[in-house]
Amino acid sequence: MAEIAVLGFGTVGSGVVELIDRNQEQILKGVPEGIHVKYILDLRDFPDSPYADRVVHDFDIILADPEISVICETMGGREPAFSFSRKALEKGISVCTSNKELVAAHGPELIETARAHRCSYLFEASVGGGIPVLRPISEALIQEDITSIIGILNGTTNYIMDKMEKEDMTFEDALSLAQQKGYAERNPEADVEGHDACRKIAILSSLMTGKTVRYEDIPCEGISRITKADFGYARNMRMAIKLLGMSRRNADGSLSVRTAPFLVPEDHPLHSVTGVFNAVFVHGNCVDDLMFYGRGAGKFPTASAVAADVVECCRCRGSHVEVRWSDETLALADPSEESRQFFVRVGAASADAARAAFGDAAQTVQSDSPAEDEYAFVTGELTEKEILDRIGRLQDVRACIRLLDLGK
Ligand code: HSE
């Protein structure tokens, strides 16, 4: 048996333990001797759990056990997850994780530690929950020049916006429903302000380029300013509003990365990704368009991705599973030079000023809901710098949302 330990017996950690029991027959196809969870590390006790006898409270017990070859870090957060992961890797114990915060902040360093100690640091579950997307990008698409990755990477915000679009809910009501359903955290800031999606597009962009794309360098906007009124216009334009993480190679070879709400036309495959589902849309120069779709969160989908990494680590014991992500920081393209169309709403008193500022290229749009006393339009192609400059001249700007173009 390959002996492993699980750090953190929360939603994902308990899913990993249960999955390994439930799917042992499937696991035997990859690891003929089988996989056994020897320890579960948590601050709490779980007297009613069938796994109660495996719970320990001291990480050093796990570290000192020479039988342990893989650790699943499903604790989340930076510390003590970082210290525990580094100590395990330094002892030649592979680490598999769902912790996107830690991966986005310390991924290359932990990969390098794993390489130096002939073990592995794998993190499939950190992006897209159960969707196998990181290994396909790193391995199945190694021959491709990947020119763009666009993802719906946060299930909570996709659920909220779906409710606002289809059931005409306010942001506050949809968020409260997401919290009742257990999708959104009590403190939903990381999801609704886009930080979670931003970390995930940083990880994807790093694997796309092999260098470090720092999430701190990515312009990040969440969905808290999107209103019911915006969806009235979106529906009439046959578009959905989605929080996207976007990474695109420019003609000069530079990379533009951004996290923001976008209007997505109905003929784009990302339009149909609803509820808590996630999708990652990839363009390679030879393979053309690909879309990876599935449950971006949840106990068993996320546990499935962690368990896949555990199987890979067990199969490759004594060697390092290569992940091409160096610690060299990639300088991103100037975000103010990105160009696209924008949807803008202004109060009626600013309509003339808006027409003057945006000229004939602006196309008026209507809402499918009772009209507010306002003027709404889609601009021609403008850079981020230009749109900021023009809306900065107007009073009572109620919305400014980017349009996803189909061509790029
Ligand atoms: N809060 C995240 C989401 C969980 O809603 O997608 C998975 O990373």
Structure confidence at residue 72 as a pLDDT band (50, 70, 90): very high
ω before 47 within 30° of 0 (cis)? no
User: Which atom of ligand 1 is the closest one to the Cα of 197?
Assistant: 6
Question: Does residue 408 sit within a domain?
Answer: no
Quick one: 99 and 7 in the same domain?
yes
Quick one: 354 and 304 in the same domain?
no
Structure confidence at residue 181 as a pLDDT band (50, 70, 90): confident
**pLDDT tens for each residue of 198-240:** 999 999 999 999 999 999 999 999 999 999 999 999 999 999 9
Task: Return the CATH number at 394.
Answer: 3.30.70
pLDDT at 408 over 90: no
Question: Does residue 322 sit within a domain?
Answer: no
Cβ distance 352 to 393 under 8 Å? no
Quick one: 180 and 75 in the same domain?
no
Quick one: 88 and 141 in the same domain?
no
DSSP state for residue 88 in the 8-state scheme: H
Domains contained in the chain, number: 3
Quick one: 229 and 84 in the same domain?
no
Cβ distance 96 to 123 under 8 Å? yes
CB-based burial label for 355 (10 Å; 0-12, 13-18, 19+): middle
Give pLDDT, residue 185.
74
Pick from 97, 154, 158, 162 the residue to mutate for probing ligand 1's pocket: most ligand atoms within 8 Å of its CB.
154
**Rounded CA gap, 313 and 186, in Å?**
35
The average confidence (pLDDT) of the chain is: 96
**Rounded CA gap, 74 and 90, in Å?**
19
Pick from 191, 204, 223 the residue to mutate for probing ligand 1's pocket: most ligand atoms within 8 Å of its CB.
191
- Look at ligand 1, atom 2, and give the residue with the nearest C-alpha: 154
**Rounded CA gap, 192 and 122, in Å?**
27
| Stretch among 41-50, 240-249, 276-285, 363-372 having the lowest mean pLDDT | 363-372
Give pLDDT, residue 407.
64
Task: Give distance in angstroms: CA of 125 to centre of ligand 1.
Answer: 11
Quick one: 109 and 15 in the same domain?
yes
Element (H, E) at 142: none
Q: Which residues line ligand 1 (CB under 6 A)?
A: 129, 154-156, 183, 191, 196, 296-297
Average pLDDT rounded to a whole number, residues 290-311: 96
Cβ distance 401 to 379 under 8 Å? no
Quick one: 164 and 181 in the same domain?
yes
Give pLDDT, residue 208.
97
Pick from 123, 196, 280 the residue to mutate for probing ligand 1's pocket: most ligand atoms within 8 Å of its CB.
196
Quick one: 26 and 120 in the same domain?
yes
201 token code pair: 């597009």
Question: Does residue 343 sit within a domain?
Answer: yes
Question: Does residue 289 sit within a domain?
Answer: yes
Give pLDDT, residue 377.
98
Quick one: 27 and 71 in the same domain?
yes
Q: Give the domain range for residue 390.
A: 335-403
User: Which atom of ligand 1 is the closest one to the Cα of 157?
Assistant: 5
DSSP state for residue 219 in the 8-state scheme: -
Cβ distance 171 to 224 under 8 Å? yes
Quick one: 281 and 307 in the same domain?
no
Calculate the dihedral angle through the C-alpha atoms of 43, 96, 127, 42, rounding to the nearest 10 degrees: -10
Among the candidates 234, 262, 294, a domain finishes at 294
Burial string for 135-164 (b: 16+ CB within 10 Å, else e) reads bbbbeebeebebbbbbbbbbbbbbbbbbbb
126 token code pair: 């950190």
∠ CA 249-251-257, rounded to 5°: 30
315 token code pair: 């199969």
Task: Give distance in angstroms: CA of 306 to centre of ligand 1.
Answer: 15
**Rounded CA gap, 72 and 241, in Å?**
35
Helices marked H in 224-350 = 228-236, 299-315
**Do the bridges between strand 382-383 and strand 339-340 make them parallel or antiparallel, or are there none, so unpaired?**
antiparallel
Among the candidates 315, 347, 382, a domain finishes at 315
Task: Give distance in angstroms: CA of 116 to centre of ligand 1.
Answer: 32
**Do the bridges between strand 255-265 and strand 239-249 make them parallel or antiparallel, or are there none, so unpaired?**
antiparallel
Quick one: 281 and 194 in the same domain?
yes
Question: Does residue 324 sit within a domain?
Answer: no
**Rounded CA gap, 15 and 283, in Å?**
32
pLDDT at 370 over 90: no
**pLDDT tens for each residue of 108-153:** 999 999 999 999 999 999 999 999 999 999 999 999 999 999 999 9
**Rounded CA gap, 39 and 335, in Å?**
47
Question: Does residue 321 sit within a domain?
Answer: no
Average pLDDT rounded to a whole number, residues 288-314: 97
- Look at ligand 1, atom 7, and give the residue with the nearest C-alpha: 297
Among the candidates 280, 315, 350, a domain finishes at 315
Task: Give distance in angstroms: CA of 190 to centre of ligand 1.
Answer: 9
pTM for the structure as a whole? 0.97
Question: Does residue 330 sit within a domain?
Answer: no
Any idea which residues carry the catalytic annotation? Answer: 200
Beta-bridge partners for 400: 344
Task: Return the CATH number at 48.
Answer: 3.40.50.720
Cβ distance 175 to 187 under 8 Å? no
Task: Give distance in angstroms: CA of 220 to centre of ligand 1.
Answer: 16
**pLDDT tens for each residue of 247-288:** 999 999 999 999 999 999 999 999 999 999 999 999 999 999
145 token code pair: 């020049």
Task: Give distance in angstroms: CA of 128 to centre of ligand 1.
Answer: 8
Task: Return the CATH number at 151.
Answer: 3.30.360.10
User: Which atom of ligand 1 is the closest one to the Cα of 153?
Assistant: 6
Quick one: 261 and 310 in the same domain?
no
For 369, other C-beta atoms within 10 Å of its C-beta total 14
Question: Does residue 326 sit within a domain?
Answer: no
